[in-house]
Amino acid sequence: MTTSATITLPTGQTLKIPTGLFIDNKFVPAAKGGTFDTINPSTEEVICCVAEATAEDIDLAVSSSRRAFTTTWGQNVLGTERARLINKLADLMERDQQMLAELEAYDNGKPVRIARDGDIADSIACLRYYAGWADKLTGQTISSTGPTKFNFTREEPIGVCGQIIPWNYPIMMWAWKTGPALATGCTVVMKPSELTPLTALKLCELVQEAGFPAGVLNCVPGLGPVGGAALASHPDVNKIAFTGSTETGRKIMEASAKSNLKKVSLELGGKSPSLVFESADLEKAAAWALMGATYNSGQDCTCGSRVYVQSSVYDKFLSIMKVKVEEYHIGDGFDSKSSAGPLISKAQFDKVNAYIQSGIDEGATPFIYSPKTERRGYFVEPVVFSDVKSDMKIVQEEIFGPVLSVGRFETEAEAIALANDSKYGLGAAVYSSDGGQCIRVSSSIAAGTVWINQYGLLSNQAPFGGYKMSGIGRELGSYALAEYTAVKSVLWNVGDEPYWPL
């Protein structure tokens, strides 16, 4: 099998891309020679075929990362050198930002401008943020053990890290996971989604160009139940970081427990609520709520798919929302007017449409709804349901599409109860001009991130993660560093005390 392909983007530009596995700084065929197709969701056409990793390839990648960790990376490399290489990688991504955005749009479907100015710009900033941490990891000295005892701690890299990333933000999830792992001195075996492997492989070329030692970052695209499962259960992997469904997160925790009790961090599903109080600026609240529910075509774990509006302003809010939806444009990622692109796959397209039908069947009012057409590509226009009830599937289950349910509440206490009526707890939003109310309500919602009078904006400096079944651990900020380090306590006897006990 060849390990590269030449593709022609909708712009007419031809681009040579790697399609092999990236192991030991080389692109290689899969051990068993298997491949899979990656599809353009805007056209339903095959882009190219990519090497499919199996357990044998995972073994090779893990062995490569283990060698690098013990010889050319880990604690053998100063933090300043790790920082230099990570910053160099960020510089190369910035140089190739437009190309990466177009490749992301081609493989994932999202608009080029959003990929370029949002996902990739944020990813570059994320790498630079963690490069800044690489030489600043410190332990503690503990003086309470007595004058002849010296006790100190070290924060050491945990080792080989398996990283399993999703298809909705391929480059951004790559950066969120590689940034803190590489900064702390860990090595990485990256398993991108089989639906969007191309930008992860293209980034490996930049890893080569930046000068990272062989094995520091390996990339093994393949099917989740095969390659992902092998990585999660591998006895020489020290940590797994996973972003994806709660169902798969359970399997990864089980695989960790049954293998070597590797450390696990999970960023999982969500069913995020937004609470709109009567004091809110309804124009802004409607705009943010629409963005929160339809950004990335609703394919977002923090998708604000449940909106609850105080009854006194409910009808006015819906009328504003209708106008804003009419200004929204779902289209091809290479169309500069597109607000969002298609869903990622035929399976996701069918799933989302089944949820829409379930909302209709269970009695919700399709306040805004454009039935599916014969248009080529996996496009779904935004749907807004009103008059929803808490036990409806569209209210309780994660849809991962641009489907928004709008319900009512009377009191603040009722709004909080509705917000917390979910097994998930990833994100939430509060819209109010009452500062005291904003503090009370945000403190009462069981969610890892609460936005006030905005939605969805994240910072590389601020931690991100979930409560309840939305996961464990945190990404971003200084909190993410703890996910990739092990704390060692060193107790040193510097005196002449006899052995104890005598």
Task: Report how far residue 227's alpha carbon sits from residue 229's, in angstroms, rounded to the nearest whole number.
Answer: 5
**Residue 174: what pLDDT?**
98
Residue 501, preceding peptide bond in cis (omega within 30° of 0): yes
Summarize the confidence of residues 364-391 as an average pLDDT: 91
Span 146-171, pLDDT tens digits: 788 889 999 999 999 999 999 999 99
Q: 341: phi > 0 → left, psi -120 to 50 → alpha, else beta; which?
A: beta
The CA distance from 229 to 53, in Å, is 11
Residues of the chain with CATH 3.40.309.10: 273-452
Instruction: Say whether pLDDT at 502 is over 80.
Output: no
List where CATH 3.40.605.10 sits in the chain.
58-268+470-488
Query: 408-427: per-residue pLDDT in tens?
Result: 999 999 999 999 999 999 99
The pTM for the full model equals 0.95
Phi then psi for residue 246, to 5 deg, are -65, -40
For residue 386, pLDDT over 70 is answered with yes
Separation between Cα atoms, residue 176 and residue 174, nearest integer Å: 6
pLDDT attached to residue 496 = 80
Calculate the CA 261 to chain-centre distance.
23
User: Do the beta carbons of residue 65 and residue 216 sit within 8 Å?
Assistant: yes
User: In the structure, what pLDDT confidence band is assigned to residue 290 with cuts at 50, 70 and 90?
Assistant: very high
Rounded alpha-carbon distances, angstroms, from residue 453 to 30, 42, 274, 432? 49, 33, 10, 7
> Among 286, 265, 342, 243, which Cα is nearest to 42's?
342
The per-residue pLDDT for range 453-489, each reduced to its tens digit, is 999 999 999 999 999 999 999 999 999 999 999 999 9
Share of the chain above pLDDT 70, in %: 99
Q: Where residue 1 falls among pLDDT bands split at 50, 70, 90?
A: low
**How buried is 336 (Cβ within 10 angstroms: 0-12 exposed, 13-18 middle, 19+ buried)?**
exposed
Catalytic machinery residues = 267
| Residue pair 224/195 in contact by the 8 Å Cβ criterion | no
The CATH-assigned architecture of domain 58-268+470-488 is 3-Layer(aba) Sandwich (3.40)
Closest CA to 306 of 392, 206, 224, 202: 392
Domain 273-452 falls under CATH 3.40.309.10: yes
Mean pLDDT of 302-315: 98
Q: What band does 321 get if pLDDT is binned at 50, 70 and 90?
A: very high
